Structure 1
């Protein structure tokens, strides 16, 4: 299990926003070109770049990106692995990769102003952002996303339940001011975590 992440300042965000679409996997190019938001484009390109870095760290040939496609529920995936999940919030962009099971990753920037009703429904007695990340990661691991499914997931310690199955959770500490969680189909060993500084290498 590997998690790679980066923090986007203004300069790095601009770098990824300007990164040529031709450097993205073929399956992603049309949707990236259709993005009107430079912020969304930057974070999508940064996530795909992190996927490249993760494959390299795992010693998987970068040509594997040529086989990236989308599953029946719209989940990005490789036909022959590894499983991966990309998430971003605020300045943080992260990508988790696992060669042995299905995973989901969610990161959330902590902020004020969470509606009391949402707080009660997601985490009546605990940390809203940790609970939200656990639910969102579970939903992403399941391959079918949506707000109703986030609310349908139930959390019991390090276990989540969704779709009549058990999902294993592993909270992460990536950067100050952020919550993060992994969810998977099997008990998750501690992930190797690496901060990757984009710099000029993202060009």
Structure 2
């Protein structure tokens, strides 16, 4: 089974961190969660985003999500794949050059990368979306396009995933079944 690195930060979207983490463990994969400035045993605060009929999503406090690895000492070469959940964390994580270098490592090695919702903000900032197709939360679509990618809209709902080579992306947590199914196919192929 695969060794997967999950990149989180404070106010990561709760469902987009916890549910994929549990799904990947259930499938037998090893998942290490990391956050800049935090070590194994620390936690990040999560936020729950919901679609309740407003012009944008609403936000409520979530849970404390466990960090299981040390970001500062990790070796990207020890991992087979990368998961980038959404929420508000990507907007500031993309300002960290080590985060961007980490993403570039997985992209350069053509290893599986799964990003959801606002996670593609990090992909765009790392410069790995040039000539790639990418789904994301619709409000992130300008960043995908500015980053040289082609935005793939969610279709009739927020429950679809898009695959472009080693990249599996989705618009929001309702897409978990499709997103994780497609990501697991890539993991199984490796």
TM-score of the alignment, normalized to the shorter chain, above 0.5: no
Larger Rg: 1
Normalised by the size of structure 2, how large is the TM-score?
A: 0.31
Higher relative contact order (CA 8 A, sep 6+): 1
